[in-house]
Amino acid sequence: MTILVLESSGSDVQNSWDHIDFFWMKKTYPEIKDIFRDQVNFDLEEVLFLAGKCGYQPNPYFDESYYVQRYDDVRNAINQGEFISGFDHYRKIGYKDRDPHWLFCEEYYLKRYSDVARALVNETVFSNGYDHYIQCGDQEFRSGSWFFDPLEYLKSLADGEVKRPFYHYIRNPKMDFDNLYFDRNWYAETYPEIFSNLKKGKWHSLLHQYLTETDCKKYSPSRFFSEKFYVESNPDLVEPIKSGRFFNGYEHFLLYGIQERRRPHPDIDLERFYHEPYIQKLLFNGRIPNVFVGWCQFDGKVPEVDEILEHGEVKTKFAFEKKSASLAINAARSKLDFSFRHPDISVIVVLHNNFDMTLNALTALRASYRHEIQLIIVDSGSDDETCHIEHYVRGAMFLRFEGNIAFIRACNAAVQHVCTPYILFLNNDTEIQLGSIEAAIDRLRYDPKVGVIGGKLIRTNGLLQEAGAIIYRDGSVAGYMRGASPDAPEANFVRRVDFCSGAALFTRTELFRKIGGFDEDYIPAYYEETDYCVNVWKSGYDVIYDPSITAIHYEYGSSSAKNGTGYINRNRLIFNSKHGDFLSKKTVKSKQNTNLARSVRNQDSKRILFIEDRVPLKSYGSGFSRSHDIITTMSQMGHEVTVFPVFKPIVSANRLYNAFPDSVEIIWDRDINDLEAFFSLRAGLYDTIWICRTQNVRRLVPIIEKISHLMPLAEIVADTEAVSAVREEQYDRLMGIPEDQHPPFAERLRSEFECLLVATKIVAVNDYDASLLKKNGFTNVSVLGHVQTSKPSPKPWDERFDFLFVGAIHDFNSPNYDSVLWLTTVLWPELENILPENSRLIIAGHLGSGVSLSSFPQSERIKYLGEVEDLSVIYNSSRFFIAPTRYAAGIPYKIYEAAAYGIPIIASDIICNQMEWSIDSEIIQIKTDEMEISLEKIIHYYFNSELWETVRDYALSRIAKDNNIELYIKSIKNILL
């Protein structure tokens, strides 16, 4: 690393912290002119010495006084003559792990911008995060500190030409600006004593004072954080603050405490606040950066959003009417075009006056589907502008009746003119949403058993009208989840239901005609769609609720609730007389029975509650991939699966829905604290409670003991996933811990398995774990491993050069972290000297929030990718998959996945023993404690194409034989039965 002494003009900008800007120093510290006078050739050490002694900054980017004051070891090293100044220390070693300026935090920057962390570990362009920030990040308006939002800063400037906000600020540090994490008005009122020193120029601003003050316990940044309380209530911080690891308690809180939801103040409970559904929504949508900022913005008071919306429906209906009127005017100027030649679906809309709302419905219909529609409009005796509807719509069929013949008879008349296989009955007070028609057609085409599809109806106030509907034994009906938020988990999975509302109802044309249409005994309206759906069920077809079909419904837009009550009471009696056989099998009306009645059970299907640490995304690895496959397979088998996480998800619900079949119910907004109440609401619903991981069984034992009377017939399946005692024993052996200093293996097993006594069935991931369970007295033990489909990647041997490691690293204590360290520091440096120059080590996989790529060793031939959505491209370029695991339990999912892609596996003896594959024919075994032998074997296989092909073919055959979907379904069926 070289250093530049820059005697620049005032307009020059040096894009690096690693220089001495002498021009800037003379301007900032006028006394320097007297010291150096007209000297042209500067002595570097003299300038550094001067900076160290006087606390001068060598350039705007490095704060000498702050750096020396912040780090005791730096100050001591300077005093002992090891370094000339703080800048000297930072240039030589400090740049690796220290912060050079009070308005930049290296750890914050790398955590916030994973692309920077990846660039640092994969490239050598930047010396650290600060280097990237100065050269690139500042110009890209990135933030280097919680206390500096570049966009907020730019708002405070009159000069709109500032391209580098951070550089501009440190050249003009006396400016104050608003900040989420520092309340300058509160600070000024609370600590008035600082103003005297502020006026004397000791500090540039209030923020500068706070971030550089040595007596950090004395000051808090806002009324929402108490430095004294935080440090005293978290004694683990005393030493790290003293050593300079953290400048103060607030820095720890911002880096880690918020994520851990530690209390920042005696009156603030972030844990409770975090679990508020509205706050969760704001977090996942990025409207607040974290729960602490949310507390500050709302002052800890969460708005009762649903209650506000419920009371505001009258206003929202007026707003809906106003919007409808506006769209009607637009249609007057430009006709809605429903011309067709070969339409996919017929849409029937029955009208009786209400012109503006009709045009709104038709506008939404046209916008919702890009393909051809046969639109049939039935005018049932209108006397408003609806009489001239053809002036506003092109290509539709119009049926006119002089009198109001009612909805039922109008629909039946319109169906005679339908020329497509599918019909959508659409109310004229309903806005069908984008993607809904396409989703319905796809489902009707894909599944011949589906006769009717309904969707999510949302009232004008944004709350649910229904998510499917229930018929009770007495013939009364109810919209499921009425009044709930449309994003509620219960409203967002596909299921078979009793019926769906006719406001937006899809059906098959042939089926509608076969049944005889809507029964005209129900004229003028109400119960006609209920009756029709029951007839669909009796005809052997399914009625489906699909949340991807969504419509906004102006409830009672074409009738009134008051007038409807009489029709409902009358038609319910008619319905009961027609369908007594159907009703006798339905649930008795009761709030407690709502969840029991919400779906129609498939024959031979089970209702399964699947409990995991998290909602299991495949990218998480660590057993979550296996859980994902189990859930997916159960759903494909026709079972109704509810996924309940012990810990709330840390990703958006949208990502979770995208990862699972649409028939899986994902409870993304609750955790173990809500489980007892959840069981109470769903008493008697589940046939099977599948608990994944032994530690979760242990957590749930007290809850199960409390609620067992609510699920008396439910089987409890304890899925051990992996036996932790095996991993712990291997780790102790690896660390060289004497046997007399840890519990015996048998005692570890006994302690781990004790909680499993609550279960009726036990599941192990492999035969070895099953044998341990059986030796400890458990008899009802099944084995359920991994499922894979062979899909060999096509590239030949001579076009592949890389070694690939894939594994999730959730924390620094994980087996995968140990594997990556061993790979990059022990094995790969030896292989690099032997392998071709174009061969690389590729490392991919999910990283936990506390793990950064920047913590791993760097090399031009090591590429760290982090989490990769689609690994198929990487598998196709890799010659070997390597898994040098030194301690583990269970079997890594990625090994089976790599083998299914046709990548030969090189694995440690521990992994090979757990898999029980044929050594050196189906899997290549190495021993991490026998380096020379392992290196020879790896090189031998690497350069031998015939051996490579042989191992690849044997592994693919093994996958096809042991891990196929048919065998997996059979194993799950045996467990459930």
Read off the amino acid at residue 401: F
557 versus 577: the higher-pLDDT residue is 577
Check residue 141 and give left, alpha or beta (phi > 0: left; psi -120 to 50: alpha).
left
pLDDT band for position 675 (50/70/90)?
A: very high
Q: What is the value of pTM for the model shown? A: 0.88
Mean pLDDT for the stretch of residues 917-931? 93
Query: In this predicted model, what pLDDT tens digit does every residue of 327-375 receive, in sequence order?
Result: 888 888 889 999 999 999 999 999 999 999 999 999 999 999 999 999 9
Mean pLDDT for the stretch of residues 402-419? 93
pLDDT band for position 856 (50/70/90)?
A: confident
Is the model's pLDDT at 881 over the cut of 80? yes
What is the percentage of the chain residues whose pLDDT exceeds 90? 70
- Of the listed ranges 359-373, 570-584, 730-744, the least confidently predicted one is 730-744
What is the percentage of the chain residues whose pLDDT exceeds 70? 97
Query: In this predicted model, what pLDDT tens digit does every residue of 191-249 receive, in sequence order?
Result: 999 888 888 888 888 999 999 987 767 899 999 999 999 999 999 999 998 888 899 99
Read off the amino acid at residue 930: E
For residues 131, 133, 134 and 138, what is the CA-based torsion angle, rounded to 10 degrees?
170
What H or E segment, with its residue span, contains residue 240? Answer: helix 238-243
Integer Cα distance of 244 and 110 in angstroms: 19
Q: Dump the DSSP string for 158-205.
A: S-TT-S-HHHHHHHSTT-----SS--HHHHHHH-GGGHHHHHHTS-SS
Q: Dump the DSSP string for 925-949.
A: EE-TT-HHHHHHHHHHHHT-HHHHH
Give the highest mean pLDDT range of 31-40, 54-63, 299-308, 391-400.
391-400
Integer Cα distance of 973 and 609 in angstroms: 16
Sheet with strand 862-866: strands edge to edge = 862-866, 841-844, 802-806, 878-883, 905-908, 924-926
* Average pLDDT score over the chain: 91
What was the pLDDT predicted at 355?
A: 94
pLDDT band for position 10 (50/70/90)?
A: very low
What was the pLDDT predicted at 926?
A: 94
- Structure tokens belonging to residue 145: 């500190």
What was the pLDDT predicted at 12?
A: 46
For residues 850, 851, 855 and 859, what is the CA-based torsion angle, rounded to 10 degrees?
-160
Nearest to 136 by CA among 227, 311, 15: 15
Residues 6+ apart with CB under 8 A from 788: 896, 897, 899, 900, 959, 963, 964
Is the model's pLDDT at 2 over the cut of 60? no
What was the pLDDT predicted at 31?
A: 83
What H or E segment, with its residue span, contains residue 479? Answer: strand 477-479
Residue 626 to residues 630, 788, 882: CA-CA distances in angstroms?
A: 6, 10, 20
- Structure tokens belonging to residue 800: 């592949």
Residue 188 to residues 207, 251, 576, 962: CA-CA distances in angstroms?
A: 10, 20, 73, 70
Query: In this predicted model, what pLDDT tens digit does every residue of 622-648 receive, in sequence order?
Result: 899 999 999 999 999 999 999 999 998
Is the model's pLDDT at 44 over the cut of 80? no
Integer Cα distance of 690 and 642 in angstroms: 10
- Structure tokens belonging to residue 408: 């039922």
Give the highest mean pLDDT range of 19-28, 153-162, 863-872.
863-872
617 touches 654 (CB < 8 A): no
What was the pLDDT predicted at 511?
A: 98
Query: Can you say how many angstroms the Cα of residue 331 is from the centroid of all Cα atoms in its chain?
Result: 41
What was the pLDDT predicted at 41?
A: 64
Query: In this predicted model, what pLDDT tens digit does every residue of 534-563 receive, in sequence order?
Result: 999 999 999 999 999 999 999 876 555 556
Residues 6+ apart with CB under 8 A from 260: none
List for the chain the helix, strand, coil content (%; round to 5). 45, 15, 40
Start-to-end C-alpha separation, the chain: 68
pLDDT band for position 728 (50/70/90)?
A: confident
333 versus 586: the higher-pLDDT residue is 586
Integer Cα distance of 713 and 411 in angstroms: 46
Query: In this predicted model, what pLDDT tens digit does every residue of 431-451 receive, in sequence order?
Result: 999 999 999 999 999 999 999
Nearest to 351 by CA among 381, 388, 317, 321: 381
What was the pLDDT predicted at 1?
A: 52
Mean pLDDT for the stretch of residues 575-583? 96
What was the pLDDT predicted at 795?
A: 95
667 touches 655 (CB < 8 A): no
Place of tokens 């020059």: 12
For residues 197, 199, 203 and 205, what is the CA-based torsion angle, rounded to 10 degrees?
130
595 touches 667 (CB < 8 A): no
- Structure tokens belonging to residue 239: 């030493």
Strands (E), 358-446: 373-380, 393-394, 397-401, 422-426, 430-432
- Structure tokens belonging to residue 287: 């409207």
Mean pLDDT for the stretch of residues 888-916? 91
